[in-house]
Homo-oligomer: A and B are copies of this chain.
Amino acid sequence: MAAPGILRQMQTSETACGVVATWNYWEQWEERVSFFREVEKIECDSIALFLCRCRPPDVVVFPRCVEEVSALAKVCHKHRLPIIPFGTGTGLEGGVGAVKGGVCFSLRNMEQVLDLHPEDFDVTVEPGVTRKALNAYLRDTGLWFPVDPGADASLCGMAATSASGTNAVRYGTMRENVMNLEVVLADGSIVHTAGKGRRPRKTSAGYNLTNLFVGSEGTLGIITKTTLRLYGIPEAMVSAVCSFPSVQAAVDSTVQTLQAGVPIARIEFLDDVMIDACNRFSSLSYPVTPTLFLEFHGSEQSLQEQVKTAEDITQSNGGSDFQWARDTETRNRLWKARHDAWYAALALRPGCKAYSTDVCVPLSRLPQIIVETKEDLIENRLTGPIAGHVGDGNFHCLMVVDPNNPEEMHRVHLFTERLARRALAMDGTCTGEHGVGLGKRALLCEEMGPVGIQVMRSLKDTLDPNNLMNPGKILQREEP
């Protein structure tokens, strides 16, 4: 906990630096507008955030512009206070927990959409702008930003965690869609990762700083602007649901669809447990077997061809006829059900909390890892419906667990480690899109090996020598 004198200094900087509310966890100030309540609200569903709650920051600041972020970061730097960037708090690996106390930078008051260039397919946004807010803003331009992790996350937060989600198979992840970032570094200086205001569609100008900060989870700097690639809204979209006799049949269909060059926009796998939970939670009535949710984007004519190819492939693998969601309303209902999978899983065991695993393997290894994982779940009496972005080889077990049952918590912990190691043994990664945060630091060491970890650590030490930026995340390290 920061010393009271320093907390007072943060308060006195209120006018200059846009601190509209500060609070001390131990003193429980009346005017604590926010952070804790935000976390409490979200935390009710998530073990990761539940754990964060145990380590709130000492202070929350609400800067209104990059200059204020920079000024506040300089104060933190001077007093060696940890800095925890906060967007919407929708991350799943405990990224916003203040494991060493310190100052939480809530960026919600920086919510401008800046510099929209429709003719160049790019836009720049501040950290308070969420995915849905941007797409609402873009509605009349014929453009959209397709990366969709489900949650209505801050776009700068999505850059910080290298988010992706259901559309990544066609449009890529944040790595491929961030063109430039404005970042406040640990010492308060401001860097533009591709040069200030620049937005060429490609560049070879020196080291790729943009992709060094994308996915750095707040441990290298605070992202205060992100310039994003936009896409034309497809002339037509159509979604479908297809049931399969086995996991293998569903995954084989996925691989063959990609091999056939179908530019599919989403191809989501739900296992029998997951589709059952979604049926109950979202009042649907799909067969309780391995299922694919698919979506096709394109012109009316190209859709016909895409769909025909995909249908031929699924039927040759024993899939059911497609159940269509052609109009926007039905399609939205379908994808809402998919994105509500988290809540559907939770509803399987009222009063429990959830933790989502997040491994990613080469496509060809998917059937084996999913089958083995389902056997492991049954063997260990765990509730973990599976949903996945199978076009990328990425899937999640939504572990539903009673946090007051330490024995069950332990079983879940051992299961998630086995699952991650199974992915590592299949040339995969322990995290496809959620990041490392707190829980996967040891697994990251196994994944990268000692030299890779040493390189990452040296980058961290260089850009943040005092270990102030979101300390304790990604890398395990001693106090400086």
Are B204 and A232 in contact (CB-based, < 8 A)? no
Are B117 and A436 in contact (CB-based, < 8 A)? no
Determine which of B232, B362, B447, B455 lies in contact with A205 in the assembled complex, contact meaning CB atoms within 8 Å: B447
Are A432 and B195 in contact (CB-based, < 8 A)? no
Q: How large is the interface on A (under 10, 10 to 19, 20 to 34, 35 or more residues)?
A: 35 or more
Are B261 and A263 in contact (CB-based, < 8 A)? no
Are B209 and A455 in contact (CB-based, < 8 A)? yes
B residues in contact with A122, CB < 8 Å: 362
Which A420-446 residues have C-beta < 8 A from chain B? Answer: 423-424, 427-436, 440, 444
B residues in contact with A434, CB < 8 Å: 204
Q: Tell me the bound Cα distance from A162 to B212 in angstroms.
A: 15
Which A329-369 residues have C-beta < 8 A from chain B? Answer: 358, 360-364
The answer to whether A15 has its CB under 8 Å from any CB of chain B is no
Are B119 and A206 in contact (CB-based, < 8 A)? no
B residues in contact with A452, CB < 8 Å: 191-193, 195, 206, 209
In angstroms, how far is the closest chain B Cβ from the Cβ of A308? Answer: 10
Which A178-213 residues have C-beta < 8 A from chain B? Answer: 185, 189-209, 211-212
In angstroms, how far is the closest chain B Cβ from the Cβ of A179? Answer: 10
Are B203 and A207 in contact (CB-based, < 8 A)? no
The answer to whether A275 has its CB under 8 Å from any CB of chain B is no
Q: Which residue of B lies closest to A176 (CB)?
A: B176
Which A245-266 residues have C-beta < 8 A from chain B? Answer: 255, 258-261, 263
Determine which of B199, B298, B428 lies in contact with A362 in the assembled complex, contact meaning CB atoms within 8 Å: B199
Determine which of B216, B235, B427, B463 lies in contact with A199 in the assembled complex, contact meaning CB atoms within 8 Å: B427
Are A432 and B203 in contact (CB-based, < 8 A)? yes
Q: Tell me the bound Cα distance from A172 to B172 in angstroms.
A: 11
The answer to whether A214 has its CB under 8 Å from any CB of chain B is yes
In angstroms, how far is the closest chain B Cβ from the Cβ of A354? Answer: 19
**A168-B429 CB under 8 A given contacts A212-B208, A255-B119, A363-B119:** no
Are B119 and A364 in contact (CB-based, < 8 A)? yes
Binary per-residue interface labels of chain A (390-404) against chain B in the complex, 1 for a CB within 8 Å, 0 otherwise: 001110000000000
Q: Tell me the bound Cα distance from A431 to B232 in angstroms.
A: 27
Are A117 and B362 in contact (CB-based, < 8 A)? yes
Q: Which residue of B lies closest to A433 (CB)?
A: B204
The answer to whether A121 has its CB under 8 Å from any CB of chain B is yes
**A204-B161 CB under 8 A given contacts A172-B176, A305-B299, A447-B198:** yes
In angstroms, how far is the closest chain B Cβ from the Cβ of A225? Answer: 14
Are B362 and A207 in contact (CB-based, < 8 A)? no
The answer to whether A301 has its CB under 8 Å from any CB of chain B is yes
Determine which of B189, B220, B305, B424 lies in contact with A302 in the assembled complex, contact meaning CB atoms within 8 Å: B305
Q: Tell me the bound Cα distance from A238 to B212 in angstroms.
A: 38
In angstroms, how far is the closest chain B Cβ from the Cβ of A330? Answer: 23
In angstroms, how far is the closest chain B Cβ from the Cβ of A379? Answer: 26
Which A51-85 residues have C-beta < 8 A from chain B? Answer: none
B residues in contact with A287, CB < 8 Å: none
Determine which of B197, B206, B455 lies in contact with A474 in the assembled complex, contact meaning CB atoms within 8 Å: B206
Q: Tell me the bound Cα distance from A175 to B211 in angstroms.
A: 10
In angstroms, how far is the closest chain B Cβ from the Cβ of A181? Answer: 11
26 contacts between A and B (CB under 8 A): A117-B362, A119-B259, A119-B364, A120-B364, A120-B393, A161-B204, A168-B202, A175-B211, A190-B451, A191-B449, A192-B451, A200-B392, A201-B360, A201-B394, A202-B392, A202-B433, A205-B448, A207-B459, A208-B215, A232-B259, A234-B261, A299-B305, A301-B301, A301-B305, A459-B459, A461-B462
